[in-house]
Homo-oligomer: A and B are copies of this chain.
Amino acid sequence: MTARDRSPQPRYAQLGDTLTRRIADGLYPVGTFLPTEVALCEEFAVSRYTVREALRRLTEAGLLRRRQGSGSQVMAMHPQRSFVHAMRSLDGLFQYAVDTTFRIDRIGLAQPDPDEAMHLGDTAGAEWLIVNGLRIDPAEGAALCVSTVYIARIYAAIAPELRSRKGAIYPLIEGRFGVKVADVAQSITAHPMPPAAARALGLSRKDWAVRVVRRYRDVAGALVLASINDHPAERFSYTMHLRQEERGVGF
């Protein structure tokens, strides 16, 4: 742009707007290919740099998939608004774990019973390092929840390091074995407090529990660790924050 126009927007932004509108208007339907870079250069009388910068925006917005030798394929009519629950680390998941300790009651290799096995997925027949205990708030000395953790057999050597471990368990495994947790599924349900948990927490059997189950998987999708946590319902609170991703064709 040689300063000939007084528009506040860069040319690639204007061009990006135009192409976004065309896609939204159905001029370039989903699945079809945009004109080639050179063709767009000619149509809009801009350089290839400008065209590429515009197309880059659309690509980042998820509207296009560009492949060398093939072309720019339209993937969506509108930049899908995507809300994300961002956390600096997984510590945000357990909003308690950072400052709490895990007091182990039972630990050992075992096969989970069928009821628990449900949570562990396909490899359920195998043995797991099963750790049972209480998550404690060291400041108050109060028990926060009853936890059962299932650690995949290959990481069972981590057992000695778990005693009175502060914070979450998965970073320990990551550090020791070099795996990376790439994916976590968390589900929250509510149940009457199981008798054993009620005893451990000093509650009556009439109380309810909020159960949080988490499954940690590595890049390959293998289950590294799973945990079942029963919280006294009256003390349970889980807050999450979602903000709209600053993507979109934000010209």
Measuring CB to CB, which residues of chain A are less than 8 angstroms from any residue of chain B? 80-90, 92-93, 180-191, 208, 210, 233-234, 236-244
Given known contacts A187-B239, A237-B188, A238-B187, A86 and B90 CB-to-CB distance under 8 angstroms: no
Q: Is the CB of B244 within 8 A of A180?
A: yes
Residue of B180, B190, B243 near A210 (CB, 8 A) is: B190
Q: Among the listed B81, B89, B93, B233, which residue makes an inter-chain contact with A81, where contact means beta carbons less than 8 Å apart?
A: B89
* Closest chain B residue to A246, Cβ basis: B182
A90 touches B85 (CB 8 A): no
Closest to A214 in B: B242
Subset of 7 A-B contacts with CB under 8 Å: A80-B89, A82-B87, A84-B87, A85-B85, A186-B242, A191-B233, A210-B210
Q: Do residues B244 and A183 form an inter-chain contact, with CB atoms below 8 A? A: yes
In the assembled complex, how far is the CB of residue A120 from the closest CB belonging to chain B, in whole angstroms?
16
Residues of B within 8 Å of A186, CB to CB, are: 239-242
Q: Classify the interface of chain A: helix, strand, loop or mixed.
A: strand
Tell me the bound Cα distance from A82 to B87 in angstroms.
6
What distance in Å separates the Cβ of A127 from its nearest Cβ neighbour in chain B?
Answer: 27
A64-B237 Cα distance, complex, nearest whole Å: 35
For the complex, give the distance between the alpha carbons of A191 and B233 in Å.
7
Most buried by B among A83, A185, A241: A83
| A187: nearest chain-B partner, CB-CB | B239
Question: Which residues does chain B contribute within 8 Å of A83, judged by CB atoms?
Answer: 86-87, 89-90, 92-93, 184
